[in-house]
A and B are shown apart, each in its own frame.
Chain A
């Protein structure tokens, strides 16, 4: 039994391909550990209640809201944040199409949207527009009205499939 009694413990997990060990209170939010201890500020807090998706990351290749994950539960897992996508060709396509299609305005929801899009394309490489809407329905945007984001994801999917 692993026990953390109101004290910080060492928790090890892979972040963006690198094994890291942090000292944290076990119930600290993964979001806070990423931002403060690991200085990975690309993941944002928009609501703290798992509604807006600005804090989206991948844990073992699944999309989650990091504001709802106690860091202790991430022991041994693989976490990917926006900073960790640099080598991903899907990310390159999304980065280009978000710029071309106007998918990013103020940019605060953008990392989360891109993580959600990556997760979607991992599961459905040839998504329909309905798939894209569903895949991103947990990510709120207040600037774009979603249309240009959905177009950016659709275009990125087309480009990565053609390749």
Chain B
């Protein structure tokens, strides 16, 4: 433990309103902390960049999962366990359920939050590709009120996001309309559990009358932010799912992702795995189509 706890200020917000109020009074001064699974690791390593922490752990406004007509609103303070336990999320958004079950072990899942995963914005974060595939919307709260941001527009660059210094993510909104889609997700890590992803994929597809009607392919760990493979999707949409299309799509997927060499893996390996995972998704899509 390489930090001195006496050197930190720590405030517990009693409500979301109090939290955003403090942030608006002293923007950039306070780092929000929810379950602590990222912040406390940095603290232990002596690498925490903030010395004033605002605890938003377990705030009721942030931890509720609400089913509201056209939309499911997942409070940003929901833990992975909360997400895993929710029947409707499991049914309507299986990519997210799966991602939650692949995050750390049970103890990490009980404390890590979806909002924390988004804001920590590790390129390897487990839940983010699913949110891109489902095209979530975020509700951002501040003292000024609330606004919505398309999750597709949220991450700008490595650890740079569409979040003002006085804003908090309040909720992640998902529209349930994916039941007829083929879902495919996979996390490739160094071991079967408790692993940081070297490559991860969350994909949805729909075939109509022998042609790909929709394809959404999101990847983690192959760029500074989680990405949707737009060009690859363009290759697929409107085409027949034949060998030629699949080959073109695989190649495009490799071209679109920008994996790097780092302490965990190599760029070449990641690129090859991207190609293989996209191939596997397309085979899954093709197989489901021929089952109809």
Query: Measuring CB to CB, which residues of chain A are less than 8 angstroms from any residue of chain B?
Result: 1-8, 24-29, 32, 48-51, 53, 56, 62-65, 67-70, 72-73, 75, 116, 119-120, 134-135, 137-139
Contacts and interface: CB of A to CB of B under 8 A. Distances in A.
A49 B44 contact: yes
Nearest to B104: A138
B8 interface: yes
Q: For A4, A68, A139, which residue has the most chain B Cβ atoms within 10 angstroms?
A: A68
B36 A70 contact: yes
B6 A25 contact: yes
Given A27-B53, A48-B1, A6 B8 contact: yes
A139 B105 CA distance: 8
Those 6 A-B pairs whose CB atoms lie nearest each other, nearest first: A138-B105, A137-B193, A26-B10, A25-B5, A68-B40, A48-B44
A62 B13 contact: no
Contacts of B161: none
A68 B111 contact: yes
Contacts of A137: 105-106, 192-194
A137 to B, nearest CB: 4
Interface of A, helix, strand, loop or mixed by DSSP: mixed
Contacts of A67: 40, 44
B57 interface: yes
Contacts of A25: 5-6, 8, 10
15 contacts: A2-B14, A6-B8, A25-B6, A27-B10, A48-B44, A53-B105, A53-B107, A63-B106, A65-B107, A70-B53, A73-B36, A120-B106, A137-B193, A138-B104, A139-B105
Interface of B: 1, 5-14, 18, 22, 33, 35-37, 40-41, 43-45, 53, 55, 57-58, 81, 104-108, 110-111, 192-194
B10 A56 contact: no
B12 A2 contact: yes
Contacts of B13: 1
Contacts of A138: 104-108, 193-194
A73 B57 contact: yes
Contacts of B37: 50, 68
Contacts of A70: 10, 33, 36, 40, 53, 55
Contacts of B1: 29, 32, 48
Given A1-B18, A27-B5, A119 B106 contact: yes
